[in-house]
Amino acid sequence: MTLAVIGVRNLFGLVVLSGAYSFIMATLLIAMDAVDVGMTEAAVGAGVSTVLLLSALHLARTEEAPGKVFQPVAAILALVTGAALIYGTWGLPLYGDPDGPIHHHVAPYYIEQTPEEMGMPNIVTAVLSSYRGYDTLGETTVIFTAGLGVMMLLRGRRRDGGKPKKGGQRRDDDKKDEA
């Protein structure tokens, strides 16, 4: 799957592939009992962001610009970073290990106190919106900022006389799929 994502030169196919990848990630998250995150991944990752990428493609060309295929510096950087990340995973506790540090910090407090302090069965919601309310407020502000940024970037007056750039070279098949 990942190799296919790297290999594809057609951006339309790339968007579809990454949507499928998001769906696989969502099922993986659900298999790991993180239903909340899985739901978000399915709705945002596979659904909305695929459509957003498609509508961005609508404004641009669907073929990747031809360039140098192999770039040694980038390849070395990517390999070194990947190796460092894999080396880092050796230090992580095993998945579901009861002695892992995440199970000994504040998690026992939340699990024990949520029924008394919040009176609700879903601890995730209690942590997100009450114990960690500041974090969620910050997240909401980030989303707000993202919306503002897109509006400012795309809604401003065009300098090139109102014609969308490269719009005329759009291929027909993605017009069909999108419209």
Partner 1 sequence: MKHHLILLVVSKLLIPFLLLFAFYVQMHGDFGPGGGFQAGAIAAAAIVLYTLIFGRRAAEKAVPPRIVEAGIPLGVLVFAGVGVANLLMGGNYLEYNAFNPAHPVEGQHLGIILVEAGVFITVFCTLVTIFNTFARRGR
Report the C-alpha gap between 145 and 141 in whole angstroms.
Answer: 6
Choosing from 76, 124, 169, 173, the residue that interacts with partner 1 (CB under 8 A) is 124
Residues 26 and 46: beta-carbon distance below 8 Å: yes
Contacts of 23 (CB under 8 A, 6+ apart): 42, 46
Give the contact letters, 152-171, x = binds to partner 1 (CB under 8 A), - = no: --xx--------x--x----
What 3-state class would DSSP assign to 119?
Answer: coil
Choosing from 151, 166, 171, 173, the residue that interacts with partner 1 (CB under 8 A) is 151
Tell the smallest beta-carbon distance from residue 8 to partner 1 (Å): 22
Span from 1-9, 68-76, 100-108, 141-149 in contact with partner 1 (CB under 8 A): 141-149
Query: Which of 111, 12, 9, 112 is closest to 65 using CA atoms?
Result: 9
Give the contact letters, 57-76, x = binds to partner 1 (CB under 8 A), - = no: -xx-----------------
Choosing from 4, 24, 32, 52, the residue that interacts with partner 1 (CB under 8 A) is 52
Choosing from 20, 25, 107, 118, the residue that interacts with partner 1 (CB under 8 A) is 118
Report the C-alpha gap between 61 and 167 in whole angstroms.
Answer: 8
Report the C-alpha gap between 51 and 34 in whole angstroms.
Answer: 24
Phi-psi region of 166 (alpha: psi -120 to 50; beta: other; left: phi over 0): left
How many other C-beta atoms can be found within 10 angstroms of the C-beta atom of residue 11? Answer: 18
Choosing from 27, 81, 113, 130, the residue that interacts with partner 1 (CB under 8 A) is 130
- Name the site residues for partner 1 (rule: CB under 8 A): 35-36, 39-40, 43-44, 47-48, 51-52, 55-56, 58-59, 117-122, 124-126, 128-130, 133-134, 136-137, 139-141, 143-144, 146-148, 150-151, 154-155, 164, 167, 178-179
